[in-house]
Amino acid sequence: MFYREAGDFKLSYVEDSQTFPIRFDRYRYFAVLAVAYGVIPFFVNDYWANAILLPFLIYAIAAIGLNILVGYCGQVSLGTGGFMAVGAYACYKLMTAFPDVSMFIHVLLAGGITALICVLFGLPSLRIKGFYLAVATLAAQFFLVWLFNRVPWFYNYSASGQINAPEREVFGIIVTGPNAPAWATYMFCLIFVTFCAVVARNLTRGTQGRTWMAIRDMDIAAEIIGVSPLKAKMTAFAVSGFFVGISGALFFSVYLGAVEVGEAFGINKSFLVLFMVIIGGLGSIFGSFAGAAFLVLLPVVLKVVGVDMLGWPTDIVAHFQLVIVGALIVTFLILEPHGLAQLWRVAKEKLRLWPFPH
Amino acid sequence: MKLKLTTLALGALMMAGPAMADLVFPDLSYRTGPYAAGGIPFSDGYNDYFTLINERDGGIGGVKARVVECETGYNTEKGVECYESTKGEGALVYQPLSTGITYQLIPKATADGIPMHTMGYGRTSAANGKVFSNVFNYPANYWDGASGVVNYLLEENAGDIKGKKLALVYHNSAYGKEPIRTLEELSKKHGFELSLLPVDHPGQEQKSQWLQIRRDRPDYVVMWGWGVMNQVGVQEAANIRFPMENFIGVWWSGAEHDVIPAGAKADGYKAITFHNVGRDFPVFDDVQTYVVDKGLAAGAGDQIGNVLYNRGFYAAMLAVEAAKKAQEIHGVADIDAGMMRDGMEALEITQELMTELGMPSFGPSFSVSCENHGGPGLVGMTQWDADTQTWSMISGFNPTDVDVIGALVAEDSASYAAEANIEERCN
């Protein structure tokens, strides 16, 4: 009824090729942005920012990054944790070396450095595919964590090997460190999420995204019709690394404030982000958000329901969390192997026909 | 399980009653994951002491204590979530029982004006109260532990350990790396050789480290482990027939569950400690009467006297005494976090006080001051007897190398102060 193409006339090519061709989608998108930028910052408190919104936003960036690599370009990666660590340590070194530079620049530079490292570790993808590539990126994961643990220069020779985010500003507003107000940290991450999502969306629906998808769907055929596998794979690794690096930098500097590489960026992190991408939906920007929300929010919701509302013992709730999240993942993947994004797509198809399905 | 559910349901009912002003002590515990074996008894002891105070004395200065438990799983992200969700309830003091979470919370808690007590863990240089206003790590810290081990070896070898080889098997994390600096300084001072053997999280895989020990044949092995790493370490030592009396753990590697799996082979294993062990204290009879028999125990009630149960119990005792001190200083019963901090800074534990509490010589006597948040750093040695399945103290609480540690604390805290732009207090 209200969700359909009919009656929405496009008068120019620009309008015709816009991201959201359906008017309702467009309004919904602007409504979400308006709430995120105009409403939430005024109500957000420490708990909401640090326990729910920041992890959600930061993991969403990481998931978008990995989705470009795995979902769009078909290159399996288990090195996300290691690449996030590169972003975090790059950000730390930059923050401590140039304290007067704005955090925006540090985070972007950290993303750039991670992109370079990611390309370096992506080189084997030209020769190997599938599971073998997964093993190669796994090596990157272990090597990077080992490196940051081993070389004291990366953690500025601190006694414990931890890195701590000092207080840094953006336009005079503190965004890192303990005195940063909740709204500032939230806005800082939100701007990066919006930037990353818009860039990713536009990259993936243009030429670049099509070459990635061509490589994903059949690399030999793609090569025959003139897609360069070297360029396609390396750009995918670079763009993915850039996003993952940004998320790692934010994860360390804004969200946690102190990081220990083995604990924060271990193999578990790689799997967590990969699960977000798989559950959310491979090859979908919305899916990255949905997957991140699912895996970040669900444990918190279960904890609030179990411990705070029902008053159950904390260990039982923690065990139930594993059971419930695990069961939901299995159920989702059986019912909808293409992830939450596919559910959303099906819902939209149904909505288009509603209320007259036949 | 069923008992636990019913007690918890009871607890929930009681909580749902009239909301009185109470003193909130968050317990960031971990009863799940690879470190749960240590987290459970500690948390049980911590909870039980507050229950005892509520049941027997009617609270602290007439105000009931309420423990808010939050599961961290030894995970820093969940630790942050727990901190944010409990601080709004009027939390008085945080004891996260994790060095990683401690590092995370030090700046946050300081900004929020909530004190932290990281007893025998956390950032060692927090002992310097001039820099760390809200962090306390009395009565002893990691560097006291490291120095205590070396002092014990000195004593065993009549003051000369020149040329001896000492291997440190440590958890490859902020926690495990803490003693390295002190041991390096001490090896320079006393002329022993130090070799470092890191073990990665969670610590189940130690074959190569122990192979190296077998090859290098160090005279002593010191272990800085936690969770499952301890059991594996003791077992591996037994497998290569390393003499157990030359194998010394830090206080986090010296509980019953760490040595029982290795059976009789673990006999003679030692661990350094900063509090007494065993259940021969009058206060545990009260716990039995007021807490366990009433079905209010946090766990199954079978952990009493366990090393880590005692440690949690001791931590809670120190928190309660600090709260009493705070009430005394400020003249109000319903204290807030800032007052609690003042109480912790003025805390004084004497043998008379501990005897009065039914815990004679449970820990060293010490006092805290504005400059010194770490106490005197007295540590003792315990040894495991596999026949009777008990830990026992084999030395008194002895002083550690204050010169070396003091210099390191000053250096590390100065670098933190420079990094975080902190002005020195207490001048």
- Place B11 in a pLDDT band, splitting at 50, 70 and 90: very low
d(CA B111, CA A180): 10
Compute the distance between CA of residue A312 and CA of residue A324 in angstroms, rounded to an integer.
15
* pLDDT of B337 above 90: yes
Distance CA A245, CA A253 (A): 12
Give the pLDDT score at B420. Answer: 79
Collect all residues of chain A within an 8 Å Cβ-Cβ radius of residue B100: 162, 258, 260, 263
- Identify the pLDDT of residue A178: 86
Closest CA to B374 of B22, B7, B165, B122: B122
pLDDT at B8: 45
- A177-219 pLDDT, tens per residue? 888 999 999 999 999 999 999 999 999 999 999 999 999 999 9
Q: What is the pLDDT of residue A60?
A: 97
The proportion of chain B whose per-residue pLDDT surpasses 90, expressed as a percent, equals 68
Q: Is the ipTM of this complex over 0.90?
A: no
Q: Binning pLDDT at 50, 70 and 90, where does residue A16 land?
A: confident
Per-residue tokens: B157: 């070898």
* For A261, nearest residue in chain B (alpha carbons): B173
Does residue A327 belong to the interface with chain B, where contact is any CB pair within 8 Å?
no
Burial class (CB in 10 A: 0-12, 13-18, 19+), A304: middle
pLDDT at A1: 65
Distance (Å) from the alpha carbon of A164 to chain B's nearest alpha carbon: 8
A143 in B contact zone (CB under 8 Å): no
pLDDT at residue B119 tops 70: yes
Helix and strand counts by DSSP (H, E) for chain A: 17, 4
Nearest CA in chain B to A96: B419
> Which amino acid, one-letter code, is at A56?
F
- pLDDT confidence band for B2 (50 / 70 / 90): very low
Put simply, the answer to whether A260 touches B174 (Cβ < 8 Å) is yes
- Return d(Cα B154, Cα B223) in angstroms, integer: 18
B4: pLDDT strictly greater than 70: no
Distance between CA atoms of residues A353 and A356, nearest Å: 6
Nearest to B381 by CA among B369, B394, B368: B394
Cis amide linkage into residue A55, ω under 30° from 0: no
Lookup: tokens for A44: 């957000």
Our CA angle for B13, B289, B273, nearest 5°, is 100
Q: Residue B14: is its pLDDT beyond 70?
A: no
Please state whether B136 falls in left (phi above 0), alpha (psi between -120 and 50) or beta. Answer: beta
Top pLDDT among A276 and B19 is at A276
* Contact check, Cβ <8 Å, B87/A46: yes
Question: Tens digit of pLDDT for each residue in B394-409?
Answer: 998 999 998 999 999 9
**Which residues fall within 8 angstroms of residue B47, CB to CB, at 6 or more apart?**
B27, B67, B69, B298, B312, B316
Average pLDDT in chain B: 89
| Residue A266 · residue A145 · CB < 8 Å | yes
For the segment A297-302, the average pLDDT, to the nearest whole number, is 89
The tens digit of pLDDT for each residue in B165-181 reads 999 999 988 888 889 98
